Chain A
């Protein structure tokens, strides 16, 4: 699969706090925009991949987007952890011959509709529901609260304050968002003092440690590298794509085992990406690391080997790697990681608003604290 497929089209709706239309329509708009960008038409598509959490079925998106027969459709579980895995599924399908052109999409009204941040108070007694049942009665009800538990232990272990550890991640994201017209925080950079003054959400997380809940849709078109070379845009080659779950992995509440200073699922992905590409962190020109909450950006940098344990805050503050150059989900939009993949593609094409000069290798990751996924995208040739 590796280096045999590429992302050839990206398309998104506007990112907003209230889209005013259905999630299905957002999905269809994003798929159409991505096909236009790729120089392809709906009739070219024979595969669709999305998240299990998505409310728009592949068949319905196909029906409304003018797409015909499908020979491949698939969904990936575990929330934002699915993002890069949708591209992996597409690449596997294309490389195996199961499909020729696969569109990955994610669309939701996550801000004006059901907000993840508004919390969970009830679950059915399935295995998945029971897992969350260990924390709900005690008032740990939101994604922020589940992340905060691990974040607190991380700070304690390395003797860091939330301001010095998490502030640089928020400030960096908002610095890039400030110059990105598509970003929610366009024109609104942030200081460390602003971060430190923002109100507590789930201590040690403040408001400005949390991503921007968003309405919108994002789609990505994957096909073979051979076919990509005949299309108008320079291909973003899928040099490697991987999923990862740690031993004893849980969804968001994985604090019952381990030392809570890292993200074992990211280590599983990192190992594969480095092994398959032969690259090392020093070879990466731009990192698009999933930033639903600031602490998990730090832990990813450490798990991927950009720096040692407890050193990531300094690494970010020193600006050692162009990071989340679209503004991330803290600054651009929370599109469940799919907008980050699009940013990785733009960087490889050389068309990002905050372009890293000559960027040829991008690392893109998906939601963490859950089974996760990652990609290395490279320029062709």
Chain B
């Protein structure tokens, strides 16, 4: 694990099911995450993924790569272009710094509209908590 290491990309098909399942699993019942008609009334072309789901997917991307013994210490994300149904998000990551057994990783998720999410995580590899 060295600064500059690139994580293999993860392709996430943004299905309507994923958006709704993610919203429900995060107990987020905002209409814009499940009701297309009300989403349109609020100026959105369709329903879109909630931030908790994006956060969860980024977390999964990191622990999938670093393994079940890795421990996420922090995660900061910023959302850009929304994830609408039918789009595809590709998560990519790059190790920015390494401090002992803890890596700082920059993650980007890009969809057809541009950058959906940019974020930075600190993750301890192979460590107990």
Report chain B residues within 8 Å CB of A196: 108
Interface members, chain A 196-255 (any B CB < 8 Å): 196-200
- Report whether B81 and A199 are in contact in the complex, using a CB–CB cutoff of 8 Å: yes
The verdict on B106 contacting chain A, using a C-beta distance below 8 Å, is: yes
The verdict on B94 contacting chain A, using a C-beta distance below 8 Å, is: yes
The verdict on B114 contacting chain A, using a C-beta distance below 8 Å, is: yes
Query: What is the number of residues of chain B that contact chain A, defined by CB distance less than 8 Å?
Result: 12
- Report whether A198 and B115 are in contact in the complex, using a CB–CB cutoff of 8 Å: yes
Query: What is the number of residues of chain A that contact chain B, defined by CB distance less than 8 Å?
Result: 7
- The smallest C-beta distance from A249 to any residue of chain B, in angstroms, reads 33
- Report whether B114 and A193 are in contact in the complex, using a CB–CB cutoff of 8 Å: no
Taking chain A's interface residues, is the majority helix, strand, or loop, or is none over half, making it mixed? mixed
6 extra A-B contacts, CB within 8 A, seeds A197-B115, A199-B81, A200-B113: A191-B94, A191-B96, A191-B106, A193-B92, A193-B94, A193-B108
What residues of chain B have their CB less than 8 Å away from a CB belonging to chain A? Answer: 80-81, 92, 94, 96, 106, 108, 110, 113-115, 118
Report chain B residues within 8 Å CB of A200: 113-114
CA distance A193 to B80 in the complex (A): 15
Choose one: B80, B94, B96; the contact of A199 (CB below 8 Å): B80
Interface members, chain A 113-136 (any B CB < 8 Å): none
Residue with the highest number of chain B CB atoms closer than 10 Å, among A193, A197, A200: A197
CA distance A210 to B41 in the complex (A): 34
CA distance A198 to B96 in the complex (A): 18
CA distance A196 to B90 in the complex (A): 13
- Report whether B81 and A197 are in contact in the complex, using a CB–CB cutoff of 8 Å: no
- The smallest C-beta distance from A148 to any residue of chain B, in angstroms, reads 14
CA distance A122 to B93 in the complex (A): 44
- The smallest C-beta distance from A195 to any residue of chain B, in angstroms, reads 11
Report chain A residues within 8 Å CB of B113: 200
Report chain A residues within 8 Å CB of B94: 191, 193
- Report whether A199 and B106 are in contact in the complex, using a CB–CB cutoff of 8 Å: no
The chain B residue sitting closest to A199, CB to CB, is B114
Report chain A residues within 8 Å CB of B96: 191
The chain A residue sitting closest to B92, CB to CB, is A193
Residue with the highest number of chain B CB atoms closer than 10 Å, among A191, A193, A196, A199: A193
